[in-house]
Structure 1
Amino acid sequence: MTYPNQPPPPQFLGSSNTVFITETRFDPSYLKTPPGIIKSIILFNLIAFICIQASAFWSNGRGVFFNTVAAVGFIFSGALLALYVFHVVEKYHNLKWLKIELVGNVVLVFLFLIASTIVVAFGSAAYSAAGFFGYLSMVLYGLEAFLKVRALQAGDLAQGSRVGAAAPHVLTPPALP
């Protein structure tokens, strides 16, 4: 029975617990998740680096700058991939991992935009190939940054799990006059 001017009751009352396993362990299942697949950026960074190094103009300032950006991206993504695969992120859950990744990804987007543009403008075939992989890395870093923003807005954890314990709310009808 419904009564006038009465707000609808809440459906569930309950709480959730956050569970962290604080021991490091090797877990290759992270590589099959969307963030793990996106972290394959390290392969594109490596290929772009090799393209510049294989060029006759590897010591040109443009190539050196591009290789520096590619190396920074390789180290950043490789280190984070290792931290996630070995659950170090879960062990040190007090750090703001999602914000750290977001800032690093945004910085790398802009660095790859600049570096890829200047090597493509050089005109060498190897530089153009490196620029292609640089632009591809830029897009993937941008996608990962977008996913980190959405995770931060949703209040997600970098690694770990939340266990919900919802109990149904029992309504008692009001007393009759």
Structure 2
Amino acid sequence: MADPGFPSQHTTTTTVTNTEIISNLRYDNSYLYTLEGKLKIAQIVFVLLSLIAVSFSTYSMWYQNSAVTSISMFGFWFSLFMLVFYIFHVVECFYKIPWLKIEMIFDVCWPILYLLSASSAAAYTGLHFSYIISLLFGFAAMFAYGYDALLKYQAIQRGEIAQGNIAVHKQTTTSTTSY
């Protein structure tokens, strides 16, 4: 006798997803002409100019400058590595790594750190003119990183990948089993 709470048939749906990407390393400078590429270059330039400005101060060896120097150098190297990764399609080769999330977290943290370090440089603007220059470039870098974080967040919300095109082929199979 059939159980009244048990259905007389069962439907199973199976979805198979295949992802195709181009996984070879190659040089492609077209990234430099995109908005993200221009932002990355602007970040590198602003960070480097902020670092140079604070380094040319008469008081460049003070411990107060270590925040500006450390944040600028780490931001410079991270942005430079990511720019090289995009130009040589390393990001596309390792598409399973959540590059957008990594960059978004970095781009959210760095404006906060730049706000703090540029504010510390602002406290010493009366001592040397280079602190004013460092302050201006630090705030410019802060806005560049903040806007990049916004773009990365929007890309994550749309379900995009960091670089390249992924062709997703879905195959759905439905089968019904009667008891």
TM range (shorter): 0.7 to 0.9
Query: Is 1:27 matched up with 2:51?
Result: no
Aligned match of 1:152: 156
Following superposition, the deviation at residue 18 of structure 1 comes to: 4.6
Following superposition, the deviation at residue 63 of structure 1 comes to: 1.4
Query: Is 1:105 matched up with 2:107?
Result: yes
Q: Which amino acid aligns with 2:156?
A: L
In structure 2, runs of 5+ residues without a counterpart are 1-16, 170-179
Alignment RMSD, CA only? 1.9
TM-score under structure 1 normalisation?
Answer: 0.81
Following superposition, the deviation at residue 19 of structure 1 comes to: 3.6
Question: Secondary structure in 2 aligned to 1:155?
Answer: coil
Query: How many correspondences in the alignment?
Result: 152
In structure 1, runs of 5+ residues without a counterpart are 1-15, 166-177
Question: Secondary structure in 1 aligned to 2:52?
Answer: helix
Query: Is 1:138 matched up with 2:139?
Result: no
Q: Given that residues 21 and 167 in structure 2 are in contact (C-alpha distance below 8 angstroms), is that contact kept between their aligned partners in structure 1?
A: no
Question: Secondary structure in 1 aligned to 2:64?
Answer: helix
Q: Given that residues 90 and 159 in structure 1 are in contact (C-alpha distance below 8 angstroms), is that contact kept between their aligned partners in structure 2?
A: yes
Cα deviation 1:58-105 (Å, max 9, x = unaligned): 011221210110001101100100000000000000100000000111
Q: Given that residues 18 and 160 in structure 1 are in contact (C-alpha distance below 8 angstroms), is that contact kept between their aligned partners in structure 2?
A: no
Spell out the pairing of 1:1-177 with structure 2 (5 A cutoff).
Answer: 18-40=19-41, 41-123=43-125, 124-163=128-167
Q: What CA distance in whole angstroms lies between the structure 1 residues aligned with 2:129 and 2:84?
A: 33
Structure showing the higher strand proportion among its residues: 2
For residues 42 and 59 of structure 1, do their structure 2 counterparts lie closer, same or farther at Cα, with a shift above 3 Å needed? same
Aligned match of 2:13: none
4+ runs deviating over 6 angstroms: none
TM-score under structure 2 normalisation?
Answer: 0.80
Q: Which amino acid aligns with 2:66?
A: V
Q: Given that residues 48 and 76 in structure 2 are in contact (C-alpha distance below 8 angstroms), is that contact kept between their aligned partners in structure 1?
A: yes
Cα deviation 1:37-70 (Å, max 9, x = unaligned): 0001101111111111111010112212101100
Following superposition, the deviation at residue 162 of structure 1 comes to: 3.6
Q: Given that residues 47 and 73 in structure 2 are in contact (C-alpha distance below 8 angstroms), is that contact kept between their aligned partners in structure 1?
A: yes
